[in-house]
Each structure stands twice: as C-alpha cells, then as structure tokens.
Amino acid sequence: MPEAPYDAPPSAVARRARAQRRRRRGRVLLGALAALWLGTAYWQTHKPLPEGARLATPWSELPDGDVALFADLTTADAYGHALLTQTIFDESLRLIAGAHEFVVLDYFLFNDERGTSSGAASPRPLAHELADALIARKQAVPGLRVLLVTDPINEAYGAEPAPELARLKAAGIDVAVTELDHLRDSNFLYSSLWRLGIHWWSATDPAPGWLPNPLDIGPAELNFGAWAQLMNFKANQRRLLIADDGRGGIVGLVSSADPHSASSAHSNLALLLHGPVLSALLASEMAIARVSGWNGVLGAPLAGAAARPAPGGARVQLLTEGAIAEALAARIGSAGRGESIDIAACYLSDRAIIDALLAASRRGVAVRLILDPNREAYGQPKSGIPNRPVASELVTASDARIQVRWYRTHGEQFHPKLVMVYGRDSLWFILGSADLTRRDLDDYNLEASVAVETRRDSRLAQQLSGYFDTLWNNRAALGTEYTADVGVYADPSQLKYWAYRALEVSGLATF
C-alpha cells in the first residue's frame, strides 16, 4: 500500500515569514487607528464653530446712562462673619419684572444644589428666585416669550432631571440645553477617543449610577455615560440676560455670575447695557438654541429700535469666544510706558496673556493683579493651580515690576473676569464670563463678554477704578481685609508650575 502523505513541519523560515506578516498587519492596523485618532483630533479642534458663536460687534456709542456696573462682593470681618454686597441678581429680577415682549437668558449653572460649601455666607437660592420671577411674569403677561439656554451640567449630563428646569418647562417657558458636541474639543487626548468609540452609546446610557459624582450637582453616583461626557471638559459658560425694557428698547446684563446656590456668595461683576448693540448677541443666543434643538418662536423683537445719540458717552463692543482673546491681545499689546493694566480674575493660565503681560511690563506698563488663590471651590480643597505658580512666575520674571495680591476667600470664590487698560485719557476694560484660560479664550467654551472704552473721568471709569483700588488697598472697616500680599499664597514649586503647563497644553485642565 502507498504511504500516507506526510505533512512536514513548517520550516523556521516559513514561521518567521508568517510572524512578519502578522506584525505588518498589526502595524498597519495600529497606523490606521493612529491616523484616525489624529485626524479626528485635528478636525475636532479646528472645525467651524456652531452658528451664532464667535461674535464681535462693531463699536457702538452709548450715553453714560445706558451703561451701568453691578458688583457682588463677599468678605468677612475680624470675627469671621460674612459681609456680603449683592446687586447682580436683584437687577436681573428687576429686568424680568419689567419685560413685556421677551426674556432670553443663558447661564452655565442654573440650579439650587448647595454643594458642600463651608463658607461664612449662607447659600441664596438664586435659581429658585429667578424661576419664580420668570413664571410669575409669564403668568402676568401670557404673551411674553421666554427662552433659557443652559449647560447640560445642570442635569448631570443626563443622569438626573434638574428640578428648576422642569418647573420652567411646566410653566410654558422654553429651555434649550446646549448641544456641546458642536463645540471644539479642548481635551483632545480624550475627546477624540470618546467620539470614535464611546459617544454613540454613552449619551443614552440607561444604567443606574455606580461611579462617584465629582460635581456638586445631581445624584451621589453617576453612570458611565454621564462620566464619559463630563470628561470632555467643555461647557456653555455664557452668563447673560437680555429683555425688552417695556418702553420699546432692549436691555441686557452681561456678567460672571450664575444663578446657583453654591455659587451665590462668589464675588462677581456685571454690566448693564441698553440699546440695539444687544441685537447681535440676542441673535447669537437664538442661533445656539436652534443648534441645540430649540424649535420655538421668539420673532425679531425690537429689531428696529434706534440708538440714542451719545455725545461724550461710552463706546461698547460685544465679544464672544476667541474674539475676546483677540481684543485682549490687541489692547494689552498696545499699552505703552506710563500706562497701566489692572486685572481681577478667578483663573489666569493662558500663555498668550501671560507673555503679553510680561512684555507690557518690560515696556514700562504698570501691571497689578488681584487673583483668587485657588484654594477651594464649593467646599472642596484645590491645589492652587494655576494661579499660584503663575503669580510666582509673573513676579519673578518681571523682577517684581508686576504686582500681585490675593483675594481673601472664605469658602467662596473671587469670580470676576475683569481686565482694565488705562490710557492717558481713556479707560478700556472688558468683563463678562470668560476666564483668562485656554479653554475660555481659544474658541472651546461658549463665552460672552463686553468691552467698553470711556473717558478716565467718566462715572463708569471712576466706579471701576474705585472698585479695584478699594480691594487693592483694603479700604474697609478695621479688621476687614479684602486682599493679602503675594507672599501669603504664592507657590514657586517647579512641580506645580510644570503640572499646570502640562494640564494647559494637553487640554486636561478643568480651569
């Protein structure tokens, strides 16, 4: 009988060839995945902004009486008792009560979660107050059109309905929760993977919560879908209210303040504006709401409102997103010897702003900063990043020509976003929602601020310079100090400095 065929074992050469083919396929697959990730990262960090974003209005002349400053300020006396001045949301309530045609609001935080704040001041239920006012005005004027645009953080990214938002919807008020997927990705290291492999199911994850909730909002535990969205580190952080004034005009309040109990003691600033300069910002809000699924009707309220003559008044410009950064760069960059820059900020980390301040100091510009020490937020301790290492860098690199003081917080935050550039005869300033950070200035988050140029002897300029000098020089009753010397909180640690730099450039920063 013939012998059965014999399969000889593969030779060593054949085994090596097969192994090489597997390695090549593996490298090709890894290369394709890397190219897909890189392509996604590039597109999602450079794609066009959603309709309504990146606004820079032409300069408008307004009478002095059509621009007004409002400030919330929290400090403590020598015994630790809270001393609060609060005007911003009192003015918001007044504007709502006077509206006859429409009210449009856009707030990052709109809820009455109290967090774990250990501050000296008792939380104020601002969201409840605002919701009550909107519902009461809607009932009194049934034809009033009301739209609230807000951030999904208020619903813990879908993990829990927000009670105040539900109340508004039940009363016939339109609520648009911002669709953040349309924004660019600041946390590109993570967000690109999220878009490729998680996004398609995480938004509708029905599983109960099992992961710890790092927010002061929502349930004690979040499901994976909510956590996955949270890690994108993006937000609609505009803080504004626009309404008709009941007399055929438009009035608006652009601020750094949120209707949020745990934030109610924060120190904040707001600017009240009148006139058609607000029409472009109103259109921007409606566009963002529509991109986020709003299909309501607001009409074109007061589109024909005419500007009043403004002899000797203020020049006003509304700015959002990256247009804020361009305005800051231009004004700081043009300041010269004998001029000065004052800044009051919760966060300062943007490298372009830091380099511009150092360059201005070398040109002979006097620079002063009042910063939050970043030691706590909503009762949770913080590391001091980014402000403490940044302050140390600015003072050291400028040979102490740049001066820094710290606001003395007591559980709350020093939350204004104010930059003032003093010319010889004029004051230019900007305030609103945007922190001096990469996320807020580089077209990632939605932000809204207002820039104003006025005479140095105007009432508004005197108010602002008085505000800053009062804090800087501790003009208060004996035993009360608004600010402390730079040495109290400055941190020259190289470890924290490079940690801040790595967080900022990688997009992993939450500030």
**111 within some domain:** yes
pLDDT tens digits, 155-212:
999 888 889 999 999 999 999 999 999 999 999 999 999 999 888 766 556 677 888 8
Chain centroid to CA 44: how far? 20
Whether 467 and 384 share a structural domain:
yes
DSSP conformation letters of 415-465: --EEEEEE-SSEEEEEEES--BSHHHHTTSSB-EEEEEEEETTSHHHHHHH
Q: Are residues 369 and 454 in the same domain?
A: yes
Q: For residue range 133-147, what is the model confidence (pLDDT) as tens digits?
A: 999 999 999 999 999
User: Cα–Cα distance between 98 and 474 in angstroms, integer?
Assistant: 37
CA 52 to chain centre: 17
**Spatial distance between the Cα atoms of 205 and 32, rounded to a whole number of angstroms:** 29
Task: Tell me which residue has tokens 């820039």.
Answer: 451
Q: Is residue 499 part of a domain?
A: yes
CB-based contact 268:72 (threshold 8 Å): yes
Helices (H), strands (E): how many in the chain? 14, 21
pLDDT tens column, 23-72:
888 888 888 889 999 999 999 999 999 999 999 999 999 998 899 999 99
Judgement on whether residues 327 and 276 belong to the same structural domain of the protein: no
- Beta-strand pair 417-422/340-345: antiparallel
494 and 350 belong to one structural domain: yes
What's the predicted TM-score (pTM) here?
Answer: 0.93
The DSSP bridge pattern shows strands 366-371 and 402-407 to be parallel
Which domain, by its residues, includes 428? 314-506
> Quick one: 271 and 383 in the same domain?
no
Q: Which two tokens stand for residue 458?
A: 């105007």
- What is residue 303's predicted lDDT score, i.e. its pLDDT? 47
Q: Is residue 16 part of a domain?
A: no
The bridge status of strand 376-377 relative to strand 380-381 is antiparallel
Q: How many CB atoms lie within 10 A of CB 96?
A: 21
**Contact between 376 and 263 (Cβ < 8 Å):** no
How far is residue 252's CA from residue 5's CA, in Å, rounded to a whole number? Answer: 91
Q: Within a 10 A sphere around the Cβ of 149, how many other Cβ atoms? A: 24
Which residue among 291, 324, 349 closes a domain?
291
For residue 89, pLDDT beyond 90: yes
Q: How far is CA 260 from CA 110, 125, 257, in A?
A: 6, 7, 9
Residue where a domain terminates, one of 238, 256, 291: 291
* Rounded mean pLDDT, 434-457: 97
**Closest to 464 measured CA to CA, from 18, 71, 49:** 71
Residue 22: inside a domain: no
Q: Are residues 369 and 322 both part of a single domain?
A: yes
Identify the CATH number of the domain in which residue 160 sits.
Answer: 3.30.870.10
Do 334 and 271 reside in the same domain of the chain? no
Provide the strand spans (E) within 63-108.
67-76, 82-85, 102-107
DSSP letter for each residue of 341-385: EEEEES-B--HHHHHHHHHHHHTT-EEEEEE----EETTEE---T
Say if residue 375 is in the same domain as residue 479.
Answer: yes
Tell me if 48 is assigned to some domain: no
- Residues 199, 324, single domain; the answer is no
Residues 235 and 338 placed together within one structural domain of the fold: no
The pLDDT of residue 299 is 64
Give tens-digit pLDDT for 379-435: 678 889 999 999 999 999 999 999 999 999 998 999 999 999 999 999 999 999 999
- How crowded is the C-beta side of 193, counted as CA atoms within 13 Å? 6
Q: What pLDDT is stored for residue 8 in this prediction? A: 52
Same domain, 216 and 164: yes
How far apart (Å, rounded) are the C-alpha atoms in residues 443 and 438? 8
pLDDT at 464 over 60: yes
- 45 in a domain, yes or no? no
State yes or no: pLDDT of 1 exceeds 50.
no
The answer, yes or no, to whether the previous bond of 386 is cis (omega within 30 of 0) is yes
Q: For residue 334, is it within any domain?
A: yes
C-alpha 229 chain-centroid distance: 18
Structure tokens at 453: 């140029």
Residue 307 pLDDT greater than 60, yes or no: no
What's the rounded Cα separation, in Å, for the pair 236 and 232?
A: 13
Among the ranges given (97-106, 162-171, 295-304, 333-342), the one the predictor scored with the smallest mean pLDDT: 295-304
User: How far is the C-alpha of 480 from the C-alpha of 486, rounded, in Å?
Assistant: 18
DSSP sequence for 144-186: -EEEEEE-GGGGGGGTS--HHHHHHHHTT-EEEE--GGGS--S
- Model pLDDT for residues 343-379, shown as the tens digit of each residue: 999 999 999 999 999 999 999 999 999 999 999 877 6
pLDDT over 70 percentage in the chain: 92
If you average pLDDT over residues 237-248, what whole number do you get?
95
DSSP assignment letter at 406: E
94 and 228 both lie in a single domain? yes
| Distance (Å, whole) CA 196 – CA 206 | 20
In a domain, 259, yes or no: yes
For the chain, the average pLDDT equals 91
**DSSP 3-state assignment of 125?**
coil
Could you give the number of structural domains in the chain?
2
Q: Which of 256, 291, 326 is the last residue of a domain?
A: 291
DSSP state of 272: E
Nearest partner of 486 among 381, 430, 379, 403, judged by Cα: 403
Q: Is-contact 70 464, C-beta < 8 A?
A: no
Residue 220 has pLDDT above 90, yes or no: no
